[in-house]
């Protein structure tokens, strides 16, 4: 019953703020609520406060003892929602494929069921000695992404 109440309040808050979306939601056995959100344009402290108040101000503290923590997805957090990929187009990603292979490149497109990464690689010349720089690209279906993180470049 408590979980359903919190889920409904969270859904209502996210319906009101369509630019925000849920990354994770957990309630412990001791009613510790942990919510992680992200937004199409990022997340401000005010956004976390909005979600927190939408839940906390609508639960009777005399009836339920709980704690509530609303956070934003950190810069180093893995991407888990397709909307996170869209907002990170043009950025460098490190993507670990389900088979263990790692790809590093620029996220150039987000398709209905896949992402497109592009990068430059040095390869041997087809004829003669030396190497040439070639453009590489790969489409990786969402279901084959084991982990994807934004690489922070300075």
| Dihedral sign for Cα atoms in the order 94, 100, 143, 77 | negative
Q: Is the pLDDT of residue 67 over 90?
A: yes
Cα separation of 87 and 27, whole Å? 28
Q: Are 37 and 72 in contact (CB under 8 A)?
A: yes
- The pLDDT score that the predictor gives to residue 128 is 86
What are the φ/ψ torsions at residue 102 (nearest 5 degrees)?
-110, 130
SS3 136: strand
Domains of the chain: 2-72 (3.30.300), 82-150 (2.30.30.100)
Q: Are 23 and 37 in contact (CB under 8 A)?
A: yes
Model pTM score:
0.83
- The pLDDT score that the predictor gives to residue 154 is 78
């Amino acid at each position: 019953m408590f979980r359903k109440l919190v889920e409904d309040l969270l859904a209502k808050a996210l319906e009101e703020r369509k630019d925000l979306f849920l990354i994770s939601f957990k309630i412990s056995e001791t009613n510790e609520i942990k919510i992680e959100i992200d937004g199409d344009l990022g997340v401000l402290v005010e956004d976390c406060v909005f979600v927190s108040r939408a839940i906390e101000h609508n639960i009777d503290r005399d009836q339920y003892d709980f704690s509530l923590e609303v956070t934003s997805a950190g810069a180093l957090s893995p991407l888990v929602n397709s909307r996170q990929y869209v907002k990170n187009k043009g950025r460098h990603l490190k993507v670990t494929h389900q088979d263990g292979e790692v790809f590093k490149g620029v996220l150039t497109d987000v398709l209905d069921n896949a992402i497109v990464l592009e990068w430059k690689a040095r390869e041997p010349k087809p004829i003669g000695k030396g190497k040439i720089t070639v453009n590489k690209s790969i489409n990786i279906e969402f279901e084959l992404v084991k982990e994807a993180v934004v690489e922070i470049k300075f």
